[in-house]
């Protein structure tokens, strides 16, 4: 398998899951502005959407969209228990978290990465994110991870999105549960490997 990624982007989530799962894979970096892979080829020939992540399988099939990719990867190694059993209520709870992170948090960062966004738009985005951070922080009280004591693909996605706070100047100090969560996930060996591979960690 090959993961097309951009350092620190949402593709970090499946990158973490690939390493947590112990799967064999390669990576190829994408220049998202130019929509080119290393060497200059048009990335849109791989993913017409022009966005990461994209996962190319051995047979040439390509799967896109992070929440779909991480569940696909986790289902390849059920013994790792990175997702609850398919069809169980807990699996739908996991999908609930993946959808919340994707629609309410991930997209909420959009104006903060847009250099042309007005100060008003940025302030509105930060205010909206703060409300969502509060919800997640309350959900994490008394537990290590979103689904309880076990790390799942939803935690990989949440970690990735919260990691953007460092790039956008958002201080997580008002939410100690989120700070503790970030530190807990960052200490995982597979996460540290992914961060180093993407040039996001110094150690």
Half-sphere exposure in the Cβ direction for 64 (13 Å, CA): 9
User: CA 162, CA 179: separation in Å to the nearest integer?
Assistant: 9
CATH class of 2-79+191-197: alpha beta
Whole-angstrom distance, CA of residue 2 vs CA of residue 24: 9
* CB atoms near residue 88 (< 10 Å): 11
Which pLDDT score is estimated for 202? 66
The three state secondary structure string of 146-173 is CCECCCCHHHHHHHHHHHCHHHHCCCCC
Give every residue of the chain whose pLDDT is below 70, as ranges: 202-203
Bridge partners of 145, per DSSP, are: 148
d(CA 33, CA 169): 22
Predicted pLDDT at 39: 83
Residues of the chain with CATH 1.20.1050.10: 83-188
Establish whether the linkage from the previous residue to 53 is cis, with ω within 30° of 0.
yes
Q: What is the DSSP letter of 95?
A: H
CATH number of the structural domain 83-188: 1.20.1050.10
Task: Give SS3 for 76.
Answer: helix
pTM flag (> 0.85)? yes
């Amino acid at each position: 398998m090959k993961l097309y990624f951009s350092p620190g982007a949402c593709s970090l989530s499946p990158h973490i899951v690939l390493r947590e799962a112990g799967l064999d894979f390669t990576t190829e970096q994408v220049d998202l502005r130019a929509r080119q892979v290393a060497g200059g080829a048009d990335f849109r020939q791989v993913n017409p959407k022009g966005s990461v992540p994209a996962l190319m399988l051995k047979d040439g099939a390509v799967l896109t969209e992070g929440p779909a990719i991480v569940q696909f990867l986790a289902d390849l190694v059920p013994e790792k228990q990175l997702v609850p059993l398919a069809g169980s209520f807990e699996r739908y709870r996991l999908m609930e978290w993946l959808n919340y992170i994707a629609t309410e948090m991930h997209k909420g960062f959009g104006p903060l990465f847009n250099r042309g966004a007005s100060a008003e738009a940025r302030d509105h985005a930060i205010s909206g994110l703060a409300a969502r951070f509060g919800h997640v922080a309350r959900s994490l009280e008394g537990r290590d991870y979103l689904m309880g004591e076990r790390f799942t693909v939803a935690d990989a996605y949440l970690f990735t999105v919260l990691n953007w706070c460092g790039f956008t100047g958002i201080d997580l100090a008002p939410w100690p549960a989120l700070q503790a969560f970030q530190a807990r996930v960052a200490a995982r060996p597979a996460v540290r490997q992914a961060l180093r591979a993407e040039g996001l960690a110094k150690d």
